[in-house]
């Protein structure tokens, strides 16, 4: 058995576009046991077989009803015991934003949280984003209470603190850094969820998304909006957390954790 297992999350900003830049090759070379992707932007019928059923991987997808929008996918070296994609509210479920995959005692939640921007970039979706987040974590809290070790990974579309974006003063009124969004993230940590990356790295300058305008990535003018949060029971098995900034193919880069394989099995909660 491996000494550690790697679990990764990546907003690919369109799986087909990312694959043209090397996604499939990256997947096999990632060293990961589980890879969650967000912003799929395709139905499975639109994807080539090598992405839908790649050799050596079990693949699961949840697409949005709206074509070319949202969607999440999960690749795993071992078949999940179960996968659920519904929160039970049509407004949320129609957007294909959630996968809850169970591997023994481990529950991996692969989630693409909404952006709060409306059609006119007016923060018109912030209320929807907050309701969605509340519904997701209500479900995850029930899983925690049932004894699961829970990892929540994905694009949260929120920079939690000033250290999590390059230009906090310029973005006080921008969705992703609004006080109400940051307060919602505070509440998650207050409920016991652990920001795995910040647990080990307090310094600024670590981002997971960069605007495609103005050479932002090369200048590292970015936001940290992609996370892996761990329940206290899961955090006991987390050995490292990281951001893979050098991986290209999207305006986001992958983030992840290395965990003790014992996270899957029996043991102390």
Picking from 106, 100, 71, the residue whose alpha carbon sits closest to that of residue 86 is 100
Alpha-carbon span 189 to 230, nearest angstrom:
10
Which residues partner with 5 through β-bridges?
259
DSSP-derived letter for residue 165 is B
Q: What angle do CA 24, 27, 32 make, to 5 degrees?
A: 170
Residues 150, 230 contacting (CB under 8 angstroms): yes
Q: Which of 19, 155, 226, 258 is catalytic?
A: 155
Picking from 65, 161, 178, the residue whose alpha carbon sits closest to that of residue 118 is 178
E-strand ranges in the chain read 5-11, 32-38, 58-62, 72-76, 82-84, 98-103, 106-112, 149-155, 194-195, 209-210, 222-223, 226-230, 238-243, 255-259
* Residue 155 designated active-site: yes
Sign of the Cα pseudo-torsion (43, 45, 49, 54, in order): positive
235-263 b/e (C-beta count within 10 Å ≥ 16 → b): bbbbeebbbebebebbbbbbbbbbbbebb
Helix residue ranges per DSSP H, 94-211: 126-145, 179-190, 196-200
Q: Which residues are catalytic?
A: 155
């Amino acid at each position: 058995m491996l000494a550690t297992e790697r679990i990764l999350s990546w907003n690919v900003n369109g799986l087909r576009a990312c694959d043209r830049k090397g996604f499939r090759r990256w997947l096999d070379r990632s060293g990961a046991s589980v890879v969650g992707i967000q912003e799929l932007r395709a139905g499975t019928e639109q994807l080539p077989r090598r992405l839908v059923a790649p050799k050596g991987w079990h693949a699961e997808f949840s697409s949005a009803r709206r074509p070319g929008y949202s969607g999440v996918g999960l690749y795993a070296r071992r078949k999940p015991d179960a996968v659920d994609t519904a929160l039970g509210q049509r407004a949320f479920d129609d957007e294909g934003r959630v996968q809850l995959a169970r591997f023994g005692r481990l529950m991996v939640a692969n989630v693409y949280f909404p952006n709060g921007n409306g059609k006119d970039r007016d923060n018109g979706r912030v209320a929807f984003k907050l309701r969605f987040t509340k519904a997701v974590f209500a479900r995850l809290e029930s899983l925690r209470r049932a004894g699961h070790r829970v990892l929540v990974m994905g694009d949260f579309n929120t920079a939690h603190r000033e250290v999590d974006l390059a230009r906090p003063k310029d973005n006080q009124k921008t969705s992703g850094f609004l006080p109400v969004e940051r307060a919602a993230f505070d509440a998650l940590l207050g409920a016991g969820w652990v920001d795995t990356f910040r647990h080990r790295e307090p310094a600024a300058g670590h981002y997971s998304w960069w605007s495609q305008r103005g050479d932002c990535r090369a200048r590292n003018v970015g936001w940290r909006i992609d996370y892996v949060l761990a329940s206290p029971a899961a955090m006991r098995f987390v050995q490292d957390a990281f951001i893979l900034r050098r991986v290209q193919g999207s305006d986001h880069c992958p983030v992840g954790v290395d965990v003790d394989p014992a996270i899957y099995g029996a043991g102390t909660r």
